Amino acid sequence: MKETVRFVSLCLMSAVLAALWGCATVQQTEPKAGARLEEPQAQVQAPAPKPVEQVQTQAVQPKKKAAASADAAAAKKQKTLAAIRSMSKLGDMALQHLTEMSTMRDRDVRLAVIDALGGIDSPCALDPIITALSDDDRMVREKAVTFLIYRGPELTRVHVDRLTNIMRNAHKCWPDPAMDGATIYASHFAGKVLSKAESPFISPELAREGYEAMVHY
């Protein structure tokens, strides 16, 4: 009887130990509830862009590249214009190069050339500026007039004679309807220089004629 009770007790003890061992194993191998909740979050991926978003992104990129390219071109042009203006420091040595550049198609380049020529302390620098009175662009002509009036005392007789011929050229052709517009513009600005510049070779009569040409044309 005692042996039977002991056998039953041993069986029960073995069952309890097995149950305890099973619980401990489960606790060690089974992840915590918090970890289970984190797993799906770690596997979440950003949603793929919609076709419309892809198209918009692809459309924006070329615009950014074009803007960056335009900015680079503008910066390069500003450096070029600054370099042209700085050529005035070379004096007479830069006259030939500046005269050649004064006929370039870019208006900003022609304006920079006049700035450079106006900074050269030589009567020879006034010749291409006088030529600029016949430029197709009004801004170039006006800048040329400004420099010629400012440097009026440096105008030689040759310069004054040349300005007089430009001024009277339109008067000779007037009122021919086929007369070139550039001829009229040049006459107007040449007359403006003669009427306002202070040169010993500009007589009061010539200055008055210049004023009339400036008003008339």
CA distance 111 to 98: 11
- CA distances in angstroms from 10 to 15, 18, 35, 96, 190, listed in the order given: 9, 12, 39, 119, 129
Residue 143, helix vs strand vs coil: helix
CA distance 26 to 29: 5
Core vs surface per residue 78-97: b (16+ CB within 10 A) or e: eeebeebbebbeeeeebbee
Find the range with the poorest average confidence among 11-20, 44-53, 66-75: 11-20
CA distance 155 to 2: 143
User: For all residues of the chain together, what is the average pLDDT?
Assistant: 80
Predicted confidence (pLDDT) per residue in 158-206, tens digit: 999 999 999 998 766 655 545 556 778 899 999 999 999 999 999 999 9
Sign of the torsion angle spanned by Cα atoms 79, 125, 204, 198:
positive
Residues 83 and 115: beta-carbon distance below 8 Å: no
CA distance 42 to 59: 33
pLDDT top residue among 182 and 44:
182
CA distance 198 to 40: 89
The reply to whether the predicted model has a pTM over 0.85 is no
pLDDT top residue among 170 and 150:
150
Residues 148 and 157: beta-carbon distance below 8 Å: no
Long-range contacts of 180-184 (CB under 8 A, 24+ apart): 182/134, 182/136, 183/134, 184/217
